[in-house]
Structure 1
Amino acid sequence: MAGQQSQSIQTLLEAEKEAAKIVQQARQYRVQRLKDARSEAAKEIEEYKKSKEAEFRAFEASHAGNIQAVQASVDKETEAKQQEIRAQYEANKDKVVKKLLDRVVLVKPELHRNLQKVEA
């Protein structure tokens, strides 16, 4: 009976070792699958990112001509307005300087209207 018990115990120990081995393999398999899934997800994310960047570059390139055309027209308009302002400045600067000098140099001395009323 003791031999049979020791053989049963030995069988149980072997079964336990086998079960531990199977559990360890399952854990390793799960860890490997998680690593593979992460790697695959990272690849998919990178591919998606590259496709979106290419799409954005294509969109940007297709609209770059419009932006340059608008910028050129704005630059022309700005230059035209600046030339107009310079022309008005050149045409009127002498008149403005003359008016300022007339106001400063040609002073007509008069009594203040309140002072005139008091004396009268």
Structure 2
Amino acid sequence: MAAQQSQGIQTLLESEKEAAKIVQQARQYRVQRLKDARAEATKEIEQFKQAKEQEFKAFEASHAGTTSTAQTAIDKETEVKLQKITDSYVKAKDAVVAKLLDRVVLVHPELHRNLRKVEA
């Protein structure tokens, strides 16, 4: 009977060691899975970050081109308007100067309409 108890205790100890080994392997497996998950998440985050960075650069480039194109169009339009104003100035300059000189130099003295004649 003692041999049987000893054998039963020995079996229990071996089972306990085997269970501890299984628990240890499960813990190692869990730790490894967590490390793998973190590495995979980091990798996905990096890929997402790169994709968004490229998307932003493309957006920036497309809008920067639009801005420079708009600036060029505005510059051309401004140049055309300045040319029209300059042409108008050159055409009307002599006539305006002549009218001003006529008004200043040619004086027609006459009495004001509200002025009454003083009878003596």
Q: CA deviation at 1:107?
A: 3.6
TM-score (norm 2): 0.64
More deviation in 40-49 or 9-18? 40-49
SS at match of 1:108: coil
Q: How big is the shift at 1:58?
A: 4.3
Q: Percent identity?
A: 7
How many residue pairs are counted as aligned between the two chains? 106
Alpha-carbon deviations, 1:36-56, whole Å to 9, x = none? 123212321232133223423
Counterpart CA distance in 1 for 2:67 and 2:31 is: 54
- Structure 1: segments with no counterpart, 5+ residues: 111-120
Aligned to 1:49: 63
Task: State which structure, 1 or 2, has the greater radius of gyration over its C-alpha atoms.
Answer: 2
Q: For each residue in 1:93-112, what CA deviation from the matched residue of structure 2 results, as whole angstroms up to 9, or x when unmatched?
A: x21xx2257976x74249xx
1:33 paired with 2:47, answer yes
* Distance in 1 separating the partners of 2:75 and 2:16: 88
Relative to the length of structure 1, the TM-score reads: 0.64
Question: Root-mean-square deviation (CA), in Å?
Answer: 3.2
Unaligned stretches of 5+ residues in structure 2? 1-14
SS of residue paired to 2:118? coil
Indicate yes or no: 2:39 matched with 1:18: no
Deviation at 1:28, TM superposition (A): 0.7
